[in-house]
């Protein structure tokens, strides 16, 4: 039984995606819902993304300086490390783990509440494909909003480090700017975006899965949200490793 449980969930998840990616009854309504989701996820998460990213950048700058004790390593390397850490990991993987908590739990609890209050049944009885109407806009919304947040996060993380250079003696602003430009690899940004799209799909689809198939009451909604966040985080970390191994 324990062996079949993951297969059962995987099969139901695939069927959910098949249902979600089917022809919309009314494209206009789906478009409006997609825009609403983009605004909710994007604008709704912008504040926390900026705060987290700024301090990640600042802390990375200070801690990298602390570890660079060799006088043979020039200080502008700190900025290069902050830049590459932000683009390759901090502003993608770490940020998406945070977004899995914020957006993932939100999606799962929204759909879970709709399920137990019979709103999903109401849609089905009207003749609306509830999987497509509720899940597709959320996935599309996440695929636009999350990569956009990741790009903003990269910029704010680097800005966080730059701000440190003004207020501390670990690195000067000139050294920081020089380090940012030094040996910049454009492909890292492409890799960052590939990861962002993958994580956006993982967060939205897994959270929708747990929310959509909620059964019971308020306690189960909480359970669904928790499972959505936990499994999103696990799959983000696994796919992070797989993508790094495959692409880099």
Partner 1 sequence: MIELQNIKKKFGENDVLKGISAKFEAGKTNLIIGTSGSGKTVTIKCMVGLFEVDSGSILYDGRNFSTMTLAERKVIRKEIGMLFQGGALFDSLNIEQNVMFPLNMFSTMTKKEKLDRVNFCLDRVNLSGKNKLSPSEISGGMKKRVGIARAIVMNPKYLFCDEPNSGLDPQTSLVVDQLIKEITEEFKITTIINTHDMNSVLEIGDHVVFLWKGLKDWEGSGKEVLTATNPELDEFIFASKFLKEIKNRTF
Stretch that binds partner 1, among 20-28, 91-99, 162-170, 232-240 (CB under 8 A): 20-28
Q: How far is the CB of 124 from partner 1 (least distance, A)?
A: 7
Per CB under 8 A, the list member of 113, 163, 188, 239 interacting with partner 1 is 113
The reply to whether 218 sits near partner 1 by the rule CB under 8 A is no
Binding-site size, partner 1 (CB under 8 A): 17
Cα separation of 233 and 92, whole Å? 12
CB of residue 118 to partner 1, shortest distance in Å: 4
Query: In whole angstroms, how close is the CB of 227 to partner 1 at the nearest point?
Result: 22
**Least Cβ distance, residue 30 to partner 1 (angstroms):** 10
Looking at 14, 43, 73, 126, which residue binds partner 1 (CB under 8 A)? 126
Q: Interface with partner 1 includes 172 (CB under 8 A)?
A: no
Query: Tokens 């993951």, residue?
Result: 6
Q: Which is nearer to partner 1, 124 or 182 (CB)?
A: 124
Q: Which is nearer to partner 1, 26 or 67 (CB)?
A: 26
35 binding partner 1? (CB under 8 A):
no
**Does residue 174 bind partner 1 (CB under 8 A)?**
no
Figure out which of the listed residues 25, 174, 182, 215 binds partner 1, where binding follows CB under 8 A. Answer: 25
Tokens of 56: 């990640």
Question: Nearest-CA neighbor of 152 among 4, 21, 51, 12?
Answer: 51
Which string of DSSP letters, residue by residue, matches the chain? Answer: -TTHHHHHHHHHHHHHHHHHTS--S-HHHHHHHHHHHHHHHHHHHHHHHHHHHHHHHHHHHHHHHHH---TTS-TTHHHHHHHHHIIIIIIIIIHHHHHIIIIIHHHHHHHHHHHHTTHHHHHHHHT--HHHHHHHHHHHHHHHHHHHHHHHHHHHHHHHHHHHHHHSSSS-HHHHHHHHHTT--THHHHHHHHHHHHHHHHHHHHHHHHHHT--SSHHHHHHHHHHHHHHHHHHHHHHHHHHHHHH-
Q: How far is CA 23 from CA 104, 128, 211, in A?
A: 25, 11, 22
Stretch near partner 1 under the rule CB under 8 A, chosen from 65-73, 93-101, 123-131, 166-174: 123-131
Q: Which of 29, 43, 73, 185 binds partner 1 (CB under 8 A)?
A: 29
Decide: is 215 part of the binding site for partner 1 (CB under 8 A): no
- State in angstroms the smallest separation of the CB of 10 from partner 1: 23
125 near partner 1 (CB under 8 A):
yes
Question: Which residues sit at the interface with partner 1, rule CB under 8 A?
Answer: 25-26, 28-29, 36, 113-114, 117-119, 121-122, 124-128
């Amino acid at each position: 039984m324990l062996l079949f449980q993951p297969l059962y969930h995987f099969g139901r998840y695939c069927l959910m995606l098949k249902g979600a990616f089917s022809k919309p009854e009314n494209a206009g309504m789906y478009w409006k819902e997609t825009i609403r989701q983009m605004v909710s996820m994007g604008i709704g998460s912008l504040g926390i993304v900026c705060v987290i990213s700024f301090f990640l950048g600042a802390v990375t700058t200070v801690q990298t300086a602390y570890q660079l004790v060799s006088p043979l390593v020039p200080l502008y390397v700190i900025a290069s490390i902050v830049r590459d850490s932000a683009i390759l990991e901090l502003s993608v993987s770490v940020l998406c783990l945070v977004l899995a908590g914020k957006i993932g739990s939100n999606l799962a609890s929204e759909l879970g509440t709709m399920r137990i209050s019979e709103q999903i049944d109401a849609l089905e009885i009207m003749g609306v494909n509830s999987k497509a109407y509720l899940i597709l806009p959320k996935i599309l919304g996440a695929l636009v909003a999350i990569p956009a947040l990741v790009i903003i996060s990269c910029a704010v993380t680097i800005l966080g480090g730059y701000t440190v250079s003004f207020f501390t003696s670990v690195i000067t602003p000139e050294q920081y700017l020089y380090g940012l430009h030094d040996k910049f690899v454009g492909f890292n940004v492409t890799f960052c975006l590939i990861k962002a799209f993958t994580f956006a799909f993982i967060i939205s689809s897994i959270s929708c899965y747990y929310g959509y198939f909620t059964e019971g009451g308020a306690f189960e909604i909480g359970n669904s949200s928790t499972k959505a966040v936990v499994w999103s985080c696990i799959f983000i970390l696994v796919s992070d490793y797989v993508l790094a191994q495959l692409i880099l």
